[in-house]
Amino acid sequence: MEKSELDNKEVDLNENKGKHRIRSPKLNAQTHNMSSSPVLRGEEADETLFEAFGEQERKLDSALKKSLGLDDSVDLKGKEDKKPVSRLRSVLSFVLTLAICLVLALLFTRFVLQRNTVTGISMEPTLIERDELFVDKISHLWRNYERSDLVTARTDKKTIDGKAMVVIKRVIGLPGDSIKISEGAVFLNGEELVEPYLDDSVSTYVSFNSFLELTLGEDEYFLLGDNRADSYDSRHFGPVKEADLIGRVWFRFYPFDRFGKP
């Protein structure tokens, strides 16, 4: 009995050993197969991953973009719809822009601000020949002309080319004022006018007559030059209608050493 039990145990051990021997080659084979499998790197790995997951990833991206209103198909369609601008259309656009700028510039100089050049010596020493000025042509719509304003005005006298002569003078009398020039002085509404912009040595006389007296109408202005001895002004062409006043002298921009408001 003891011997048979021992034999049986040996048989069992041998069987167990045999089983282990049978499994061992399988494990070794699997290990060998794993170690011998090729490792994917670089572009091959990217292609393999794309084949496995790329299509699903693309569907997920498309669904996400649609939910956010960023559909690729819409962008592509928009790009396809955009056509290159033709050369003729570009030229026409440039010409139209240039024409609009010119019209705006003409309107600006016609109704808002005008450049004037001083000619002659009638406004010395306040303004001298070749002074470059900006004339404000719009503020009179909400602010009346005032005494001592420097203004530009049209006169009845014609230039060589047949246009109305434009002068730059100082406002002395306003609508309704009584003006009198006598004995080298200007009297306004019965009182001698104080003119701080003139030198004390300056006297005012009337050509060919030592006396002038008048009352201005409701829309009339009396203008004089600061160089009273050599100025063509209201002593010669009379009062100026408000409609003939062009604007106020606003700024002198040249020469630079006289830059500023005169």
Query: What pLDDT is stored for residue 145 in this prediction?
Result: 96
Q: Is 87 left (phi over 0), alpha (psi -120 to 50) or beta?
A: alpha
The architecture (CATH level 2) of 114-258 comes to Ribbon (2.10)
C-alpha closest to that of 221 among 155, 164, 156, 172 = 172
175: Cβ–Cβ under 8 A, 6 or more apart, which residues? 216, 217, 218, 219, 220, 221, 242
- And the tokens for 78? 């928009």
**Sheet of 150-158, strand order:** 113-117, 132-136, 245-254, 150-158, 164-173, 220-224, 240-241
Q: What confidence score (pLDDT) does residue 107 get?
A: 80
Q: What pLDDT score was predicted for residue 60?
A: 56
| Amino acid occupying residue 256 | F
How far from each other are the two terminal CA atoms of the chain, in whole angstroms? 143
pLDDT score of 8: 47
In whole angstroms, give the CA distance from residue 187 to residue 214: 11
pLDDT for the residue numbered 55: 56
Q: Write the CB contacts of 122 (distance below 8 Å, at least 6 apart in sequence).
A: 167, 168, 169, 225, 226, 227, 230, 231, 232, 233
Residues 163 and 208: beta-carbon distance below 8 Å? no
Q: Please tell me the predicted confidence (pLDDT) of residue 225.
A: 97
Helix (H, G, I), strand (E, B) or coil at 213: strand
* Annotated domain spans of the chain: 114-258
In this prediction, residue 104 carries a pLDDT of 86
Distance (Å, rounded) from C-alpha 167 to C-alpha 184?
23
The residue length of the chain stands at 262
pLDDT tens per residue across all 262 residues of the chain = 444 444 444 444 445 444 444 444 443 444 444 444 455 455 665 566 556 555 555 665 666 566 656 555 544 444 445 556 688 888 888 899 999 998 888 888 878 899 999 999 999 999 999 999 999 999 988 999 999 999 999 998 888 888 888 999 999 999 999 999 998 999 999 999 999 999 988 999 997 667 899 999 999 999 999 999 999 999 999 999 999 999 999 999 999 999 999 9
pLDDT of residue 14: 47
| pLDDT value for 68 | 58
| pLDDT at residue 30 in the model | 45
Catalytic residue IDs? 122, 169
* Residue from 147, 155, 168, 167 nearest 243 by CA: 155
Residues in contact with 206: Cβ distance below 8 Å, sequence separation at least 6, in sequence order: 181, 212, 235
Residues 136, 247: contact at Cβ < 8 Å? yes
State residue 112's pLDDT score: 87
Distances (CA, A) of 203 to 123, 126, 183: 14, 16, 8
Distances (CA, A) of 8 to 1, 11, 14, 83: 10, 5, 10, 94
Query: Which letter does DSSP use for residue 260 in this model?
Result: B
Regarding pTM above 0.95, the answer is no
